[in-house]
Amino acid sequence: MINRRFSTTVINSLLFGLLISVGLSLHAEPSAETQTPSITPSLAPKVAPVKFYVNDIKATMHEHVAKLLDADGLFHVLDDKTGEDLALKFVKVHDPVRQIRGNIYFACTDFHVAGDPAKLYDIDFWLDGTTGKLVVYDTKVHKEPRRSLIYGWYKQPRYTFVKDEISYLY
């Protein structure tokens, strides 16, 4: 009985000592070489993480398009494939708009060629919400108008998405 009580006491003492030493090492101050400079709280950015929803993304898209309309109400976008300046009329923002990852959001839209509503372009927009406000940072022509003898005008895709990354079709 004494040996068992003695060994239990020794084991408990060793465990207690180990826990104390681990706890102290976790709370020890880092050395001067490993310390990183601290940011003064008053100078640190005060942007709290913001979650944006469908209405936020769509409202940002409408504001972005409206801000960039010329005097004739046309939205100009450079076609990265043809180099052409496209003068387009806004039609709508597609559903669904979505969050891709973190603070990056995505919206797909329809625009038609000025003077020809049957010729539709599908334009994709990427938005960043890191600053606490959604900002459009990239625009691409996703689908261009093509004519078929059987179907008339349709939207021909240039790329598709594989795990939220662009995969060009041609």
What is residue 50's predicted lDDT score, i.e. its pLDDT? 85
pLDDT tens sequence across 141-165: 999 999 999 999 999 999 999 998 9
Q: What is d(CA 63, CA 78) in angstroms, rounded to the nearest whole number?
A: 19
pLDDT above 50: residue 54: yes
Residue 48 binned pLDDT confidence (cut-offs 50, 70, 90): low
Domain of residue 88, residue span: 54-168
CA dihedral 161, 91, 51, 125 (to 10 degrees): 40
Q: How many domains does the chain have?
A: 1
Is there a domain that residue 100 lies in?
yes
C-beta of residue 128 within 8 angstroms of C-beta of residue 137? yes
Is there a domain that residue 21 lies in?
no
Q: Mean per-residue pLDDT for 6-32? A: 43
Is there a domain that residue 141 lies in?
yes
What's the predicted TM-score (pTM) here? 0.71
Mean per-residue pLDDT of the chain: 81
Is there a domain that residue 61 lies in?
yes
